[in-house]
Structures are given as C-alpha cells and as structure tokens.
A = this chain, B = another copy of it.
C-alpha cells in the first residue's frame, strides 16, 4: 500500500480527550477514529490489526473443535426475562415495530442456549462447542480508555455444552491451553498470566487472562514462581497461590484480555435444556463460556508494546511487516530504485507500507514510521544508496544496517 493513498493519516497532536495510551497512539497513528464515547471507527490500518487478531483466535478455536456461527446483536428481550438478567444496567433496550421489546446483546448466553437447544437432544450430540466473532453492545456509564472499555466492541465468545461436569472440566482445560497459545501468537505470551477470579454460585473459580502493564486498570496479586495471579475481588478469601501455596504475592497492574467461566447449569436450567442419556433419561446440560475481546486486546497490545515514539506491534498482528521509507524521490534514479524495492516486496507477498510522499520531510516520515510501528523499517535514500543499498532497522532496536540491493529480500524473509 502506498501511504500517499492510504485513508487515515497520522496526526502530530493527540486527541484532546484521549484518556489512555492506546486511544492516543491508535488515533494519532491513523488506526481508529472515535465516533462517540466508547464507539470507534476502524480505519484501514486498524482494521488490518483487528482482523489479524481475529484470525489467530479463529484458528485456535477451530483447532479445539469450536464451530463458528454468527448470532444477531439484536434480539427479543424475552431470553433476558427468562434468565432474570433483563434488569442488567449495561443492557441496551430498544423498541421494534409493534412496540416489541428488543435488546442489543452484551453477551450471548440468552441467545446461544435456546439456539443450541433446537439441535441437541441426545448424549450423542454432545459435547459440542460453538463460537462467534461479533460486535457486542454495553451501555457503559463510563466508557473509557480507548478500545479497553467500549459501548460497541468486538468479541469472540465460545460456548460449550457437555453431558456432565467432568466433561466440562476436561474441555475447560483444553480451552485454557488454546488461550495461552493465542496470547503467545499475538505477542503477549510472556506478560499474560492466568488469574483466579470469582466462580459465582456454581464453581469455585473462574479465570481471567491478565496482561501485565503499568497502565492496567486492574490490580492483580501475582505469584512470580507460578506466573499465576489472584484478582482483587477474591484476594481476601484466597490469599495464597492456588498452585504452590506461596503467600508472597505481589500486587501488579494488569489489563484483562480474556475470561473463561464454567456456567455449569445456570443457563440450561433457566431454558430447561435437557438431553437424553444412554438410558433414555433426561439430564441437564452442563455449559462453559469463554470470552476473548479482539478489540480490547488490540488496545492492550498498544498499552503493553510502545515507547515514547509510538507503537511497537508484534509481527503477527502488525498492519504491515515492512514500512518502506522513500527519501529524495525527486531524483529519478532513487525513485526508480524505491519503486523496484516496493514491487519486489509485493511480488514476494511481503506486506509493505510504502511512504512515497513527495511533500513530507525525512524527519516527519521517520516519526510516522515509529508512530505506526511496523516491525521493519527500510529506508531508501541518496545516502543509503551511497552507503551501498537500503537501510534496515527493526522498530524495537536502535541499530540500523545497510543491506545490498541484490540481497535485502533474503534478510527480510528470514526475519
């Protein structure tokens, strides 16, 4: 993509209402643009990042036999009356024609349970798991922190259905592993820890995945030995590490990026969702629910991966792999070389953002490259050619090096 043609340019000044690093850098970098509080437009750069996160999540859900479906955002209020959650304060209510009561779903237990119930009757239909990647709505009193707490936001929610608690427990551990794999793949693996949280009425614990970062809105209590934490809601009742018994837990700041929960029979009982077992007896279905917020995670990556110049995207979710800066393009020879490098990268299917602007200074181009934060910066200029080629620099390193024009591609492919 040529930066001169890209919709959504960088801005030198931070939005005045940006209350977080991710809101500031993502807006200044041209990734997102706020519509109203807690509701954002995704510009081309931002949508690329969001899609990459979603695709990693999708692949990992497919690997554990999750079947992708798509449920509506807007449904009748009926299911929420059935479960008694219709008074939940974040639920958006609206009226359909004929004065019907509709809601915008902030989560989909009230939709997925009766939906799955239409197709699952027997123990032979279980276990099964469905998920969706879809936008949710929460009428937050204080939407804030950019993509971290939105009123319209993207979620992956997986729901699993089981014959008994043992099978739910088995699958719960499988999903837990898949989540670790997701955080590893999106570049948050080293700083994301399993955190014990309240399990509600039915289960001893639920689990959050918390990404350590100094701007985090949560405080968690970390066992550094096990890389496991306790969240603040249950720290008074669970004062030691549940894995090793360590009572020297350290209070650290973190951002929640996932939440997994054994719903057990809470929703299947509300909807009278039974299956027929091997003996033809009706048994209640056990359920699990597994949330992951791609948009929230996008914000969290920025909170955790940036410096004072801008974002430092992990390779797997970066909008482009290479940020190609062309300087001195008014010289025909340099322009030709720059265009050739751009074409060579495209031909090798290497994602490249080519800053081909002719009316911008070198300093401004470097600042934009740092702000946008693609992993590799290539500079082609009069000086780089005099030095023997194209200048190569990793976004997260200080040192640059000159690569010869006839072999720079190998180095980039190897990275």
Contact = CB atoms under 8 A, between A and B. Distances in A.
Interface residues on A, range: 35 or more
B93 A70 contact: no
A118 interface: yes
A128 interface: yes
Interface stretch (A34-42, A191-199, A269-277): A34-42
A86 to B, nearest CB: 15
Q: Oligomeric state, in number of copies?
A: 2
Nearest to A79: B35
23 contacts: A7-B67, A8-B119, A36-B76, A36-B96, A36-B100, A39-B72, A41-B72, A41-B115, A42-B70, A42-B71, A43-B69, A44-B68, A44-B130, A47-B69, A47-B70, A50-B70, A72-B152, A73-B73, A96-B151, A97-B139, A97-B141, A104-B104, A135-B135
A369 B40 CA distance: 43
Interface string A116-129: 10110000000010
Q: Which 5 A-B pairs have the closest CB atoms?
A: A42-B70, A94-B94, A7-B67, A39-B72, A97-B141
Interface in A6-51: 6-9, 33, 35-36, 39-44, 47, 50
Which of A5, A70, A76, A141 has the most CB atoms of chain B within a 10 A radius of its CB? A70
A6 B65 CA distance: 10
Contacts of A115: 33, 35, 41
A96 B6 CA distance: 33
Given A74-B152, A94-B94, 7 more contacts: A5-B128, A7-B69, A36-B76, A39-B74, A41-B115, A44-B69, A47-B70
B71 A41 contact: yes
Nearest to A120: B7
B75 A35 contact: yes
Interface of A: 5-9, 33, 35-36, 39-44, 47, 50, 65, 67-76, 92-94, 96-97, 100, 102, 104, 111, 115-116, 118-119, 128, 130, 135, 137, 139-141, 151-152
A71 to B, nearest CB: 5
Nearest to A154: B70
A96 B42 contact: no
A178 B271 CA distance: 47
Contact of A111 (B41, B47, B104): B41
A2 to B, nearest CB: 11
A407 B174 CA distance: 39
Contacts of A43: 69
A141 B413 CA distance: 56
A414 to B, nearest CB: 27
A7 B128 contact: yes
Contact of A69 (B42, B135, B137, B152): B42
A6 to B, nearest CB: 7
